[in-house]
Amino acid sequence: MSFQGRHGVRQAERDQPQEFKVDIDVEVDLSHASRTDHLSDTVDYTKLRGIARTVIEGPPASLLEALAGRIADLALELPGVASVSVRVAKFPASMQPIEAAAARINRTRA
């Protein structure tokens, strides 16, 4: 998923929107959903996308780790999600020749 946000340590990173890519992997028991074929028996992926969009387009953070952590915490609140892995990457021109910076957070429901 790709969204525009204003995050980073330097003010220049926050002055102009930049692209952030988000990957979310959730661990869910899919045995029931695989038999019923009902959306109500699994995780609605549009909810995960909504979480990512809200965080990336929301209040600024300095670190990619903070963004990934916010997304992971909210994803774990969804019914059935046992664990989550979130990767957030950005592609600022100021980091050339590095193509991207990224952080991955793994969380498990306590």
**CA 83, CA 106: separation in Å to the nearest integer?**
7
Does an H or E element contain 90, and which? strand 81-90
DSSP conformational letter for 41: G
pLDDT tens per residue across span 38-56: 999 999 999 999 999 999 9
Chain segment 66-105, per-residue pLDDT in tens: 999 999 999 999 999 999 999 999 987 777 787 889 999 9
As separate numbers, helices (DSSP H) first and strands (DSSP E) second, the chain gives 4, 4
Q: What is the spatial distance between Cα 43 and Cα 12, in angstroms, rounded to a whole number? A: 37
Q: Is residue 90 annotated as a catalytic residue, yes or no?
A: yes
The one catalytic residue among 7, 69, 90, 105: 90
Q: Which domain holds residue 79?
A: 2-108
CATH of the domain at 46: 3.30.1130.10
The C-alpha atoms of residue 2 and residue 23 are separated, in whole angstroms, by 9
**Number of domains forming the structure of the chain:** 1
